[in-house]
Amino acid sequence: MNQNLLEKSLKNNKLRYAEYYGMMETYDELFNKSNEGKNFKNLMGTITSTDNILLAYRNIKRNNGSTTQGIDGITIKNIEKLSQAELIEKVQKRFNFYNPRKVRRVEIPKPNGKTRPLGIPSIWDRIAQQCILQVLEPICEAKFNKHSYGFRPLRSTDNAIADCMYRINKSHMQYVVDIDIQGFFDEVNHVKLMRQIWTLGIRDKQLLVIIRKMLKAPIVLPDGSIQFPTKGTPQGGILSPLLSNICLNEFDWWIARQWEERECSELVPQFNSKGTRHKSHDYRKLRSSTTLKEVYIVRYADDCAPRKCA
Q: Give the pLDDT band of residue 269 (cuts 50, 70, 90).
A: low
In a domain, 218, yes or no: yes
In a domain, 175, yes or no: yes
Q: Does residue 290 have a pLDDT over 90?
A: no
pLDDT on residue 261: 62
pLDDT tens digits, residue range 38-90? Answer: 999 999 999 999 999 999 999 999 988 888 999 999 999 999 999 999 999 99
In a domain, 183, yes or no: yes
Give the Cα separation of 288 and 132 in Å (integer): 46
In a domain, 168, yes or no: yes
In a domain, 241, yes or no: yes
Q: Does residue 143 have a pLDDT over 60?
A: yes
Give the Cα separation of 309 and 60 in Å (integer): 45
Domain of 100 in residue numbering reads as 3-259+294-308
Q: Average the pLDDT over 238-249 and give the result.
A: 96
Give the Cα separation of 245 and 240 in Å (integer): 9
pLDDT tens digits, residue range 275-289? Answer: 554 555 555 555 555
Helix axes 3-20, 50-61, angle to 10 degrees: 150
Number of domains in the chain: 1
Give the Cα separation of 13 and 300 in Å (integer): 22
In a domain, 284, yes or no: no
Q: Are 235 and 185 in contact (CB under 8 A)?
A: yes
pLDDT tens digits, residue range 80-112? Answer: 999 999 999 999 999 999 999 999 999 988 888
In a domain, 266, yes or no: no
Q: Does residue 227 have a pLDDT over 60?
A: yes
Residue 223 or residue 173, greater confidence = 223
Paired residues of 176 in beta bridges: 307
Give the Cα separation of 145 and 272 in Å (integer): 33
Rg (CA), the chain: 22
Residue 91 CB neighbour total at 10 angstroms: 23
Q: Which residue pairs, CB below 8 angstroms and at least 24 apart, start in 221-226? A: 221/105, 222/105, 222/106, 222/107, 226/102
In a domain, 211, yes or no: yes
